[in-house]
Amino acid sequence: MVEVTVPSPGESITEVTLGTWRKQDGEWVEKDELLNEIDSDKATLELLSPAAGVLQVNAKSGSEQKVGALVAKVDEKAPRPAGAAASATKKPAATAAAATKTASRGAPAPVPPSTADAATARVSGVAKKVAAERGIDAARLAGSGPSGRVMKVDVEVAAASSAVGGGGAFSASAAPSGPRGVRREKLTKLRLKIAERLVSAQHTAAMLTTFNEVDMSEVIRLRAEHKAEFEKSHGVGLGFMGFFIRSCVSALQKFPRANAYLVNDEIEFHDYVDVGVAVGTERGLVVPVLRSVQAMGLADAEKALRDVATRARDGKLTVDEMTGGTFTISNGGVYGSLMSTPILNPPQSAILGMHAIKKRPVEDPHNPGQIALKPMMYLALSYDHRIIDGAEAVGFLVHVKDCIENPGRLLLGV
């Protein structure tokens, strides 16, 4: 037997959550075949089969496991089935085991209609007593409790319906109609960590947010004019995020406190800029970090962004790639958000929130007093007031606005 143990997702992580088994107990697996996905508070790792053979599952899906814990074994000496068909080696109990795993993930177990005992088990003790008093067959009711359990209120509703209908005994048509299911889903390690960090940021930092709006006309014009040539030359698309990354680098160099940490009674300044970019994934929000972006051009920033965003959605990021960062950019505009208040990513002191681009009537800067329809975006800068004064925060956001509205500043470095 070859043991399958929980690998370490990274330093300081001691406990993980076991995902859904891709292969059932007793099935044939090939070497390096995906068996499970392990979820930690920082990353998701794939658990691969160390050898070819018959799988023996030792831990349930969704269970909490320590790093190094034994979760399965592979019998490499088992005979390979004809055509390597996994179903040929499945144990008779595999189907029942799969049902048990499904139930353990929170899905309600089916109730066989022909089994009276099983149906009765779905009825709470109080509901049974009330049902008996009122002559109602509680086993035939649709339950509103956890996993479809029949509660007292379900019996009372059925009794009231029967009374209104004028009938004596309860009929099936009197049961409450419409879905009333309730289910619980265990928070993933990643989601728990996100919650912990966001609550911590609100409790420990003196967080304020300042807003401004930016005219995207010039960036949109440049993008439309040079997009094809840019992609042909650099092998990557020209998006809006690259302009904002470069604009933030310029602003952070002018307002270094927005790129600093508060460490006890000292301010830790950084002569480099590591930008965290918030990326939404199926497992939750992750913030991969682009290192030393002050040394990147527009094309380099776009390439680095595409790489980390793709691997973030595929769950391929390492813990190191999501650690650190001196500043964060969050783009809620991709989901249609018009305005929001981004929350700090500790121990950082500032975060920029981008939003949806909408055409709005504004004064034309080239023709004072004249109104024009412009593609506008609201910007939000949340900052730690313990480090950054209001004037600095406003100045930072105005600098970003000026860079976006006059992209030539980025080329000139002003």
| Catalytic sites, residue numbers | 385, 389
Burial zone of 306 (CB within 10 Å; 0-12 exposed, 13-18 middle, 19+ buried): middle
Closest residue by Cα to residue 252 from 326, 354, 158: 326
- Asked if 87 contacts 40 with a C-beta cutoff of 8 angstroms, the reply is no
In the numeric block, which tokens belong to residue 305? 């962004």
**Bond from prior residue into 347 cis (ω within 30 degrees of 0):** yes
Sign of the C-alpha dihedral computed for residues 168, 169, 174 and 176 taken in this order:
positive
β-strand 266-268 against 261-263: which pairing, if any? antiparallel
**Alpha carbon 237 to chain centroid, angstroms:** 25
Residue position matching structure tokens 């080239």: 366
∠ at Cα 280 (207, 101), nearest 5°?
Answer: 115
- Per-residue DSSP letter, 113: T
Collapsed DSSP state (helix, strand, coil) of residue 94 = helix
**Contacting residues for 276 by C-beta, under 8 A, at least 6 apart:** 287, 288, 289, 290, 325, 327, 328, 329, 345, 348
- For residue 254, give the nearest of 395, 128, 116 by alpha carbon: 395
CB neighbour list of residue 386: distance below 8 Å, 6 or more residues apart: 205, 206, 262
| Residue pointed to by tokens 């086993």 | 139
| Cβ atoms of residues 188 and 38 within 8 Å | no
Distance CA 99, CA 73 (A): 21
Interatomic CA distance for residues 242 and 275, integer angstroms: 12
User: Taking the C-alpha atoms of 123, 128, 131 and 135 in order, what is their torsion angle to the nearest 10 degrees?
Assistant: 110
